[in-house]
Amino acid sequence: MRRPRRLRQNPAIRSLAQETHVRTDDLIAPLFVREGSGPPTPIESMPGVLRHGLDDLLRECEGLLRLGVRGVALFPVTPSELKDPVGQEALNAECLVLRTVRAVKQRLPELVLFTDIALDPYTSHGHDGVLTADGRDVDNDRTVDILARMGVLHARAGADFVAPSDMMDGRVRAIRAALDEAGCQSTGILAYSAKFASAYYGPFREAVGSARAVGTRPLDKRTYQLNPGNPREAIADALLDESEGADALMVKPAGPYLDIIAALRRETRLPVAAYQVSGEYAQIHAAARLGWLDLESTRDESLLAIKRAGADWILTYFARPVAESLSRT
């Protein structure tokens, strides 16, 4: 008679038999940076997540690196007065995110920096690109031209990976060509390859001050983000990004799309990243605050599921507390 429980008898045996582990090396910490100094400001819908001024962000990066978190994804909070319909601030060589990249790389050259390549932090309407003349859709090719120029600016500032999150057609090919032409051949592209038109992004939009933030009617981005009901289309999009020169492929959100992560893992040899987005983080905290779930156990199980599905890298707002927990074991 087979007795599978022999492998579950005590903590030591269970540890030896465990097949999947989440390590600090797997984690990338998304960080929000704002203008100005002073103490960081909290984000109401994301408990424990802060908008950092530059000096405080540098201290946060140092702390993460000491804990073994080697990657950080930067997201700027652009002042409203710098936003316009075409996102001109994105091409300002002295914009907030580029100043931040230069400062972090000067202080912590060993930290791997991922920067967001999209226009939604810079547009007054909150879409990820320039709108068409009638204002009904995003103009794909005009947007791609801007994204390629953004990518070069970010690479020259010191970003290790540029991460196009816009879901425009052809943007990976255009960014790769622009990077190579500018002499930035060593800069990688982490493509948001399977980014779904999800209801889970609301708290993030509050965090960066994007139009239609949490608690309001969401922006309709279904002409460029993926239909949640289309797994085959998601894999096709991701493999197209691979063919255009992406160095790693991302699925976003992570938890509701574990099947997409697993399917993509089977189809590619590239690293697969998954973004545990703001809504996933917020719902775990909300349930824990009500006493319905244990915060740490649910947090750890959610990340283990993402890793088990096949993700090599996990972008998560839990990066610091998980790293702190792992450092105590």
Active site residue 252: yes
Which is catalytic among the residues 83, 221, 252, 307?
A: 252
Average pLDDT over residues 182-211: 89
Confidence (pLDDT) at 38: 85
Beta carbons within 8 Å of 299's beta carbon, 6+ residues apart: 284, 318, 321, 322
Nearest Cα neighbor of 123 from 50, 205, 30 is 205
Which is catalytic among the residues 83, 195, 221, 307?
A: 195
Residue ranges per structural domain of the chain: 20-327
Residue 202 has pLDDT above 90, yes or no: no
**Tens of pLDDT along 60-79?**
999 999 999 999 999 999 99
Nearest Cα neighbor of 245 from 181, 159, 156 is 181
Nearest Cα neighbor of 141 from 151, 150, 154, 131 is 131
Residue 324 has pLDDT above 80, yes or no: yes
Residue 212 has pLDDT above 70, yes or no: no
Task: pLDDT band for 218, please (50, 70, 90 cuts).
Answer: low
Question: Measured at the alpha carbon of residue 38, what is the angle toward residues 32 and 42, in degrees to the nearest 5?
Answer: 45
Confidence (pLDDT) at 186: 98
**Tens of pLDDT along 264-317?**
999 999 999 999 999 999 999 999 999 999 999 999 999 999 999 999 999 999
**Tens of pLDDT along 234-249?**
999 999 999 999 999 9
**Tens of pLDDT along 143-169?**
999 999 999 999 999 999 999 999 999
SS3 content of the chain, % helix, strand, coil (to 5): 45, 20, 35
The Cα 200–Cα 110 span in angstroms is 32
> Percent of the chain, pLDDT > 70?
97
Confidence (pLDDT) at 210: 66
Average pLDDT over residues 164-176: 98
One CATH from 3.40.50.880, 3.30.870.10, 3.20.20.70, 3.40.640.10 for 20-327? 3.20.20.70
Cα dihedral 235, 131, 197, 141, rounded to 10, equals 10
Task: pLDDT band for 215, please (50, 70, 90 cuts).
Answer: very low
Residue 213 has pLDDT above 50, yes or no: no
Average pLDDT over residues 31-52: 94
**Tens of pLDDT along 101-118?**
999 999 999 999 999 999
Confidence (pLDDT) at 329: 78
Task: pLDDT band for 219, please (50, 70, 90 cuts).
Answer: confident
Confidence (pLDDT) at 217: 53
Q: Residue 39 carries which DSSP code?
A: S
Cα-based distances in Å from 283 to 202, 239, 243: 11, 31, 36
Alpha-carbon torsion 260, 265, 266, 270, what sign?
positive
Task: pLDDT band for 262, please (50, 70, 90 cuts).
Answer: very high
Distance of CA 46 to the CA centre of its chain: 15
Active site residue 195: yes
Asked if 320 and 67 touch (Cβ cutoff 8 Å), the reply is yes
Nearest Cα neighbor of 272 from 224, 235, 299 is 235
The pTM (predicted TM-score) of the whole model is 0.95
